[in-house]
Structure 1
Amino acid sequence: MLFILDQSIIHHLLQKLLIEEKSRVYMLTAIDQDSPYIVPTQFESFSGLGGKSFNNILRYQNIINPNIQVGALATNRLYEGRCLWEFDRT
């Protein structure tokens, strides 16, 4: 599933998130021709190639004070006909 948002909506959301200089948003996008993957198990790991994929990493960070930071990380990998999403918080 691919969501396409209007540029004005994205601009408005980023403006709300970055209203203070204590917030940051980072985004990285890449296209892999041969996407490696690793499947960890308790005793060993398996690896392989997943084919061509489109990858995104989005990181939001809010600095409350020099010692406290709150953030979130979202990643996705779109294969031909498949999709993988992951979310994490810090």
Structure 2
Amino acid sequence: MDRLSRNLDDLRAVVQKLSLKRVRIEVLKENLVFTGENSPLANLMLSVMGAFAEFEREGIALAKKEASTGGTKKHSPPSRRQN
């Protein structure tokens, strides 16, 4: 699903455009089928799965950015004071 579009809005547009052409869209990994019927459950599942894919892409991009700038700073454990 994350290969089909770049973000959730784009995903919805692609699915709608293909559905209008009577294309049946099957997402095998998530076991979802979109046939163009305006089903509330299908719309919800598309939105949820699309949002997860978008968050995953953003997380990967952030991790790559942090890696290229040296990553996150490592903090030393707080020292214990001896009384």
Q: Normalising by structure 1, what TM-score?
A: 0.25
Name which structure has the greater RCO, CA cutoff 8 Å, separation 6+.
2
Higher helix fraction: Structure 1 or Structure 2? 2
Task: State the TM-score, normalized to the length of structure 2.
Answer: 0.27
Compare the two structures and name the one with the higher strand fraction.
1
